[in-house]
Each structure stands twice: as structure tokens, then as C-alpha cells.
Amino acid sequence: MDWSQQTVLVTGGTGSFGKKFIEIMLREYQPRKIIVFSRDELKQHEMRMAGFDHPSLRYFIGNVRDADRLRRAMHGVDIVVHAAALKQVPACEYNPMEAIKTNILGSANIIEAALDAGVKKVLALSTDKAVNPINLYGATKLAAEKLFVQSNAYAAGTATRFSCTRYGNVVGSRGSVVPVFLKQRATGRLTITDPRMTRFWLSLEQGVRFVIRCIEQMEGGEVFVPKIPSTKITDLARAIAPEAEMEVIGIRPGEKLHEVLVNEDEARHTVELDDMFVILPSDEQAWFAQSWKPRGKPLPEGFRYASNTNSEWLTVEQIQEMVRPIEEAYEQKK
């Protein structure tokens, strides 16, 4: 795929993912144009002042809730990366309609606008919380996934294709526990919800590079899941503040002990590759993406890709290595 001939639009482009994606795109892929689509003019201004002022970069103020604005923004666009979302679990629990308007109805607007504009590829970012969801954020992301997979049917004879990526916690992203632990470190006491808790873990750069690969390979209808390591919350705490005392405060509303990236039911129509799983549309929905079957191997009956039964775990030293850039940035801000 020749990125230099592509016009790329990133919703939520001023977020932690969006900025890292655009940084790597400008440095390594040089697309014809990148459009930052987001609702906060201050964040766009701050992003520009931070050095994101490339000739191929455009800043477009808009909200994914606004279908007309999305249609205007997608004129002439080849690829859309949909990263905009309300993702703070407690905020989504307290403001459920707001989460639904942005994460579900906003996703529907993305799909409609992309179809109308003739966009070639649309990739949505999802989360492990969309699997067997117990909080509203996870439920909205599950609904968004279903919309994206099913909407390939609407593409009919056109070129537009929709797929999703689904991965775990991103080190240092907004909403991550890492900045919380860094702040608490000075007090000598870290609050953890439950010492048994585990999470899938990857760096922002790993997430971005996975998304780029998925855009290049997607056919439409897939949910791409990377193979990533797990982390114990206690190991994360020790990596950041080895001398600090841990105070157990109990699991918050909508929080799980462990997360799942592929559940047993999805595993039946999932293929495994060396470094990822590809969840295919079920047989009655198999419009595209079937060429993945001979390229991967089927999963055994009852397979479940969960953070507590993962075969790969980060050591405290590996966690420290991943956290170091966030730690350095935090210290500079103090």
C-alpha cells in the first residue's frame, strides 16, 4: 500500500493515540494529507504549538455526533481511523446517554459519512472491555464493533470497507493508571482496587503500529486482536513505586478482575496468526475477510484469550522499561 497517495482522517486526532499515529505517519509514511478531526480547538492549537505543523497536516474542528460535519470532513478522504470516544469508565457510567451519543451514534455517523464520501478503508479502535461487557463503556464499544462489521453489507458494490482493532490497556494513555501511580508515589502509598487484578498491556507505539498494519491488510469485517502480554496490577505498582505501601480500596463500579480479548464464542470463527488473532464475520455474515482462513489456524474448542490465563507476562523490569518515557515526561511537567 502506497501511503504517499492516501488522504487520511483521524477522529479524536488530538488524543494520545491520534498524536502518536500522526507523528509516526509524518515521520515514516508521508501520506498526501492527514486531517485531524476533533472537537476541542484548544487541543488542536496546543498540538500545533507542540510541533505538529506539517504542510500535509489539516485541523478540522467537529464532533462525531455531527453527521453533516463528518460528511464535509471526509470529502476526498481515502482512509479513516476512528479513535474518538468517551472512554472514562466512571464518567460513562454516570453519563450514559452521552457515551451512547458519542460511541454508538457517533460511530454510525462515521459509517454513513464514509459510505457517502466513498472512503476506501475505515478502521475503528475498540477495547478488551467490549468483550462480555459489564460497564457502559464496554457495551458502547461492543455496539460500535457490531456496527462496523455489519456495515460492510451496506457497501454493496462500492469500495468502502469497515474493520476494527481490539486491544488492551495502553501504557500512559489518558485514563491509564500509570499517571495516577506516579502522582501517588510521592505520598508513599498507592491505591489499588484488587491485588488479583490483571490487564493486557501494550505501549502507545505498539498500538499505533498494529493499527497501521491492520489498515494495510484489512478486507472488511475483521476484528484484529494483537498478541500482547499481561501485567499484574501489583507488579505495575512495584515497578513504579517499589518502596510504597499498597492500599486496597476495592473494585470500582464497572470494573473487572481480568479482561478478555477473544471469548469462547468468538473463538469458533477466529484464526490465529503468529502475532495476532483475526475474528472473522460469522458464516451468515461472511461478506468479506474469508481469505484469512487459509492464512491462519483455527482455535481449539473452548479457547479464551484472557489476561489472567495469558502465556506471556511482563516482568517488573520490563514494566519499568515501558513506563520510563511516561515517567520522564511526568517529571518534566512537575
**Predicted pLDDT of residue 222:** 95
Q: What is the pLDDT of residues 43-54, one digit of tens each?
A: 999 999 999 999
d(CA 271, CA 221): 14
d(CA 236, CA 181): 9
The CATH class of the 3-168+203-227+260-306 domain is: alpha beta
Could you tell me how far CA 279 lies from the centroid of its own chain?
A: 16
Q: Please indicate whether residue 291 or residue 121 has the higher confidence score (pLDDT).
A: 121
Which is nearest to 106 in space by CA: 36, 11, 207, 10? Answer: 11
Average pLDDT over residues 278-306: 85
Per the rule left: phi > 0, alpha: psi between -120 and 50, beta: everything else, 51 is: left
- Listed range (77-91, 281-295, 314-328) with the worst mean pLDDT: 281-295
Q: What is the pLDDT of residues 193-228, one digit of tens each?
A: 999 999 999 999 999 999 999 999 999 999 999 999
Contact 282, 228 (CB under 8 A): no
| Domain assignments of the chain as residue spans, ordered by start | 3-168+203-227+260-306
Question: Which residues are identified as catalytic?
Answer: 129
